[in-house]
Amino acid sequence: MRRWWLAAAPFALGAVLGGVLALLGERRMIEVAVAIPLAFLVAGALASVAILAALLARRSREARIRERENARASGSAEATAETLSAERQRHRRFLARLDHELKNPLTAIRATAAAAGTGDPHWSLVDSQARRLSELVRDLRKLAELETRPLERERVDLEELLVDASSALADRDPAAGGRIRREISRVPWPVPAVSADPDLLSLAVDNVLGNAAKYSSTGPIEVRLREESGVAVIEVADSGRGIPEADLPHVFDELARAGNARDVAGSGLGLTLVQAVIARHGGTVSLRSVEGAGTVVGLRIPLRAPSE
């Protein structure tokens, strides 16, 4: 506001002096002769100055408006982040309560089934379903813990981790283990070790390998490792049943099961766990699949931790 008074000050001063001289009876005239070319030049210059001043004023006003909008957007983003954080905390608390409330009843059901159902297929079914529900609740709790558990980082040799994961699968399922083929890039140099939590990374790889074995009863399972622009890339490919196109947008959702996978036991949390683990390491997960042809799951892990 003060700038407007400053701009009006010369006019006010001139009006005061003119009024005083008029009251004193000053009648003398000042005649100024100006050449016509110079008059047009001065008039053009004054018009340009006026237009420039208007443009500068408009630019300044627009800049202030943008600043206010950015401030509001920043506040909105912070509020959204706080809302999402609160929602995640409520989700974790709910899963913890669910695990606590169901653990004892499920244990009692399984104990009763074991005591009363020796040789009875009905009690065996009760026991298997109670065990499945118990594993589902456990996996949900594990997923919630992944978001808050501190990472115990160390240098992890990814080739060694893939060999261990393949061996573990072969121990559980010798037929699937015999179908695994590893393609490790070592030229012109091997893939460097990554800064990661070895237990969580093993959990992610085990889940992806387990899915490849579970949904492809025949054909090879290819495990690939390479480096791309500072990122370690692990791919697990199979020639199994694949995923219907309509289900692809939901494969990382909690409890999601593809329409052609209902006959295979599972909680629908495997890929959700994988995505949570890789995200904690600053990486991403991708999935390509064609129903009836197979699936490729890619894990991209930065070679350096974000804090390094």
Check which CATH number belongs to the domain holding 121 and give it: 1.10.287
Of the pLDDT bands very low, low, confident and very high (cuts 50, 70, 90), residue 258 is confident
Domain annotation covers residue 29: no
Same domain, 235 and 106: no
- pLDDT class for 65, splitting at 50, 70, 90? confident
Question: Per the structure, how many domains does the chain have?
Answer: 2
Q: What is the pLDDT of residue 241?
A: 85
Helices (H), the chain: 2-23, 36-116, 121-146, 158-172, 174-177, 198-214, 270-280
Least confident window among 86-100, 172-186, 241-255: 86-100
Residue 15 lies in a domain: no
Residue 187: per-residue pLDDT: 85
Last residue of one domain, picked from the residues 81, 114, 148: 148
Query: Does 138 share its domain with 266?
Result: no
Which residue type is seen at 37?
A: P
Torsion of CA 131, 137, 143, 148, to 10 degrees: -130
Domain-ending residue, one of 104, 130, 148? 148
Taking the CA atoms of the chain, what radius of gyration do you get in angstroms? 36
Q: Is residue 76 part of a domain?
A: yes
Picking from 67-71, 106-110, 246-250, 284-288, which range would have the lowest pLDDT averaged per residue? 67-71
Over the stretch 125-149, which tens digit does the pLDDT of each residue have?
777 777 777 777 777 777 767 777 7
Task: Tell me the mean pLDDT in the region 253-280.
Answer: 76
DSSP string over 100-144? HHHHHHHHHHHHHHHHH-TT-HHHHHHHHHHHHHHHHHHHHHHHH
**Cβ(209)–Cβ(274) under 8 Å?**
no
At residue 269, the pLDDT reads: 74
pLDDT, tens digit, for every residue of 185-197?
Answer: 988 889 999 999 9
Q: Is the pLDDT of residue 100 over 80?
A: no
Same domain, 98 and 162: no
For residue 5, the model assigns a pLDDT of 46
Q: How much is the pLDDT for 189?
A: 86
Same domain, yes or no: 48 and 78: yes
Examine the domain organization and report whether 122 and 247 are in the same domain. Answer: no
Domain that holds residue 208: 154-302
pLDDT tens by residue, 295-308: 999 999 998 766 55
Q: Are 218 and 297 part of one and the same domain?
A: yes
pLDDT mean over 27-49: 54
Please report, to the nearest 10 degrees, the dihedral formed by the alpha carbons of residues 107, 110, 114, 120 taken in order: 170
Q: Does the residue 97 lie in any domain? A: yes
Question: Are residues 193 and 285 part of one domain?
Answer: yes
Domain with residue 170: its CATH number is 3.30.565.10
pLDDT at 73 exceeding the cut of 80: no
